[in-house]
Each structure stands twice: as C-alpha cells, then as structure tokens.
C-alpha cells in the first residue's frame, strides 16, 4: 500500500493534535483540581453536582438571612432590656411617691425624675438599627414611630407590620415587633377593672381594684361598669353604700357614659324609680338617649327627661342630672342608645376601717373616710399606652395638698399606674421571651444548615474532586506518550529515498 507524503503528514499531525488536546484537558482538570468540569466529563454525576451546588447556594442564603434576623432580634433584645430597667425604676419611684409622708417639694423632685425616665423610655422606643431604620415602626422603617403631639401625648406613627426572614426552606422568623404591640396596647388597671374616684368626691377614701373571686358567678357581669355610691345625709347617721351597675343594652354610638352620683336623699329620685320596679334588688332602670337635632340629646331615665340637654358638640365631658341620678357623658351617642342601670346592693352600713364589698363574683374594698354623694367606680379595663400611664403618675404627684381628697386622688392614680407598669413589664418580658426564642430558632437552624452543607460538600467532593496523585501520574504518562509520538514523527519524516541519493 502506497501512502503519499501529504497523507502521512496529515495522519500524524491529527494524532499529535489529539494527544495535545488530551494533555491540555488533563492540565485544565489539574489546575481546577476537579474531575468533572463539563457535562461530557461524567454525564451521570453532573446532574447531582448541579443540584448539590444549588442546595449549597440556597443554604448560604438562609444563613445570611439568619444573620440579618439575628442582628435585628439582638438589637430588639437590648432595647427591651433597657425599657425594662427604666420601668423598674419608674415602679420604685411610684412606690416611694405614694408615701403619704412626702412633702409637696419631695413629690416635685420625684416627678422630675419620672419625666426624665419617660423621655428615656420614648428614646428606647425610637431605637434605630445600623441602617438608621426604626426597629419599632413596623414596615414604615423610616418613620419616627413615637412622637409627642402639642399636648405632650405620645402617638404611634408606625404600622403593625412585622418583618419576616426566611431562614429555612419552610421556616421564617420575625425580626421585629410593632411598637404598638410593645408600648401602646397595655391593659388598664388589673386587666379587668380600673378603679376611679368620682370627680366631686370630698372624702379621703379610696377603692382597691376589683378582682374576680368566682369566675362562674362573674362570667356574665364583667361587661358592666359598677358604681359604689355613698349616702350620708347628716352628721348623725352613719354613711351607707349602694352598688349599681351600668350595662350597655342597645348602643350604636360612641359615647362614654358613667354614673357620676346617686343621691338617695333627693326627693325627686322616686320619679325615676317607680314603686314596684325600684328599689327592688336586681331591678333595672332604663337610660335612653333621644336626639333632638344638631347633636343635641335629651337623656331619659325610666321615661323621665333630663332638665339639661347633652351637647355632643362640646368636647368636654358633661354631667346630666335626672331625678337624683347624675350621669357623666363624653363622646357622640346615637339616637336610641340605651343602657340598663341595675342595683346590686341596697343601702348598707359603711365601715370606715375597711369596707369589703362583694357582688356578682367580684370583690373590692373601700378604705378611709367618706362623705355624702362620694362615688367610686369600677370601670371595665381598656388599653392605654405606657407613656400616658407615666404622665398620669406625674400629674398625680403635682396635685396640691390644699384639698382633702388630694391624697385619695394620688393613691388611686399611683395604684392604677403601678398595676399598668407591672402589666407593661409583663408584656415586655413576654415579647423579650419571644425574641429569645427566635434567636434560639435562628441558632438551631444555622447549625442544621451547616451540618447539611457539610454533608453536601462531602458528597460533592466525592463526585467532582480530582484524585491528584492519579491525575498527575496520568498527566505524566500522557505527556510521555506525546513526546514519543513527536520524536517518532520527526524520525519518520527522515524516511525518504531522496535522503539516500
């Protein structure tokens, strides 16, 4: 068989180029320390390798999300701890400020520190992170959440948003709590009732918070406001107390209605308490609002109209008297709003040393000297921001000593403020516990991801990493074969008849 010189050169050149290409590929794998770089290297393994790399990338992103969530929660934890310390100091001051031996000057000094602590608490509530974003403003991170209006009242300008971070394929954790949840929605009083004195009280007596002693008996009576009314017509007779309840019947408006006073000595009270209906125990008297036009209302008690109208255009609370029963009304009622005025305890002798009063599974106590027409209210607990509570305590400290009831007002204000400060601390402790749980979840999830990543990296290494010793040996062998081929090609080129002539 005759092989022409061009064919000979072409065949040998092709062989040499193939061997050089193989050597180059082995050099690339050696440089990358990878056995599988292209799909053609191992078509079966490449799919698993790509999936493992994707899983590792997602895991790294989960870890980064966890780091951001951890940073946010740790900052919140520091702020909550600071708030708790401030509230603890406020509580100490309230206890010392309620001491009846303090002078007016001493109370003023206490009020100055309370004001500073209130400002400090506002500052803690307006904490910002490293990106200058407010941690308690919900999603409105660039909005100052707690701002004081022209009246010194603190208003919340954030929203209720709670940012979440995905730290696992099916796991998210919160990075913040809305400020309204932390500082604003604090239950008043003991969470069931708030104790208040009548605005016209002249005695020094105070009332404790109403507590539930029988849950079954109290179940149907916790949606009422209660008034303990004192009657002492003269200096000779001992004072008596009666207990009344005010319960919403049909209410569509937005008015706050309270019993300010019940004067049993008023001869006209029989006009609104007809024989056979009242004063039978447990009987009720109907209170109704009838609109006469222009947000003006006539108040009727068992059909008897009030002598003065209620003007809802007036933003101040107003007292409406109907036959010895005085109502304190604030807000805008609706035409036809009605309430049941119920007597639970008839006139009973009052014991000045401490009068325990029990009704409807509820118990309270009045302590101190009472005067005729004094009233004490157990109002349903609402919600109040902690800043307003502190301000109430400051205002109570600044009440002068000229009037007999000043001490009673301070005691009531301090008692209710203490209860709400305790509720605020309990609320913050609960949120801080949740924050700690979130941090623990982040730690556990991070450890789980790191363990998974370690296993995946081991599997990935087994699939794509190069056996360096074997690869170097193979590379040297391929290199030697190429050199032999090159030398053979050179020598074969010398096999020509012309070289023998």
Q: Where are the domains of the chain?
A: 1-33+472-501, 42-191+384-465, 193-380
Neighbours of 264 (CB within 10 A): 19
What pLDDT, in 10s, does the model give residues 215-233?
999 888 888 889 898 888 7
pLDDT band at 275 (very low <50, low <70, confident <90, very high): very low
Percentage above 70 pLDDT, the chain: 76
- Among 212-221, 259-268, 276-285, 428-437, the minimum mean pLDDT is found in 276-285
Asked whether residue 414 carries a pLDDT value surpassing 80, the answer given is: yes
- The alpha carbon dihedral of 303, 308, 313, 317 has a sign of negative
Whether residue 112 has pLDDT greater than 70 = yes
> What long-range pairs does 163-169 form, CB within 8 A, spacing at least 24?
163/72, 163/139, 165/65, 165/66, 165/68, 165/69, 165/72, 166/62, 166/65, 167/62, 167/65, 167/66, 167/69, 167/441, 167/442, 167/445, 167/446, 168/62, 168/445, 168/448, 168/449, 169/58, 169/62
Q: Chain-wide mean pLDDT for the chain?
A: 80
pLDDT at 387: 92
Query: Residue 344 in contact with residue 281, Cβ under 8 Å?
Result: yes
CA distance 410 to 399: 7
408 compared with 35, residue with greater pLDDT = 408
Residue 255 or 410, more confident: 255
Q: Which fold does the domain 42-191+384-465 belong to in CATH?
A: f41 fragment of flagellin, N-terminal domain (1.20.1330)
pTM (predicted TM-score): 0.75
> What is the reported pLDDT for 278?
47
Residue 157 has pLDDT above 90, yes or no: yes
Q: What is residue 107's predicted lDDT score, i.e. its pLDDT?
A: 83
């Amino acid at each position: 068989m005759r092989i022409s010189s061009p064919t000979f050169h072409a065949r040998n050149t092709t062989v040499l180029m193939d061997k050089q290409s193989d050597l180059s590929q082995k050099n690339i794998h050696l440089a990358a320390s990878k056995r599988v770089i292209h799909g053609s290297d191992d078509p079966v393994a490449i799919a698993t390798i790509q999936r493992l790399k994707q899983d590792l990338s997602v895991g790294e992103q989960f870890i980064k999300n966890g780091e951001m969530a951890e940073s946010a929660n740790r900052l919140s934890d520091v702020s909550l701890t600071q708030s708790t310390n401030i509230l603890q100091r406020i509580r100490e001051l309230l206890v010392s400020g309620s001491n009846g031996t303090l002078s007016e000057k001493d109370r003023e000094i206490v009020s100055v520190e309370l004001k500073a602590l209130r400002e400090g608490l506002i500052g803690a509530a307006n904490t910002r992170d490293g990106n200058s974003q407010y941690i308690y403003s919900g999603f409105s991170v660039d909005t100052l959440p707690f701002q004081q209006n022209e009246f010194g009242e603190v208003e919340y300008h954030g929203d209720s948003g709670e940012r979440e971070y995905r730290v696992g394929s099916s796991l998210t954790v919160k990075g913040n709590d809305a400020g309204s949840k932390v500082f604003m929605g604090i239950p008043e009083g003991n969470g069931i009732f708030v104790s208040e004195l009548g605005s016209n009280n002249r005695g020094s007596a105070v009332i404790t918070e109403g507590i539930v002693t029988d849950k079954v008996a109290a179940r149907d009576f916790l949606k009422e406001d209660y008034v303990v009314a004192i009657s002492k017509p003269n200096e000779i007779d001992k004072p008596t107390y009666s207990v009344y309840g005010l319960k919403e019947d049909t209410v569509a408006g937005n008015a706050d209605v309270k019993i300010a006073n019940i004067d049993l000595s008023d001869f006209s009270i029989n006009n609104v308490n007809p024989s056979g209906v009242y004063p039978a125990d447990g009987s009720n008297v109907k209170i109704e609002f009838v609109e006469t036009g222009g947000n003006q209302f006539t108040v009727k008690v068992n059909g008897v109209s009030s002598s003065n109208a209620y003007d809802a255009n007036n933003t101040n609370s107003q007292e409406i008297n109907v036959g010895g029963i005085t109502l304190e009304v604030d807000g805008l009622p609706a035409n036809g709003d009605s309430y049941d005025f119920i007597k639970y305890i008839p006139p009973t002798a009052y014991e000045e040393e401490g009068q325990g009063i029990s009704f409807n599974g509820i118990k309270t106590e009045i302590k101190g000297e009472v005067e005729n027409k004094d009233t004490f209210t157990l109002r349903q607990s609402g919600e109040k921001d902690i800043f307003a509570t502190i301000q109430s305590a400051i205002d109570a400290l600044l009440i002068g000593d000229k009037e007999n009831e000043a001490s009673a007002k301070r005691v009531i204000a301090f008692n209710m403020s203490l209860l709400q400060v305790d509720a605020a601390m309990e609320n913050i402790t609960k949120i801080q516990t949740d924050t700690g749980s979130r941090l623990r979840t982040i730690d556990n999830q991070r450890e789980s991801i790191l363990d998974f990543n370690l296993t995946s990296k081991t599997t990935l290494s087994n699939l794509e990493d190069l056996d360096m010793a074997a690869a170097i040996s193979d590379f040297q062998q391929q290199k030697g074969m190429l050199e032999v081929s090159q030398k053979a090609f050179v020598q074969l080129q010398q096999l020509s008849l012309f070289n023998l002539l």
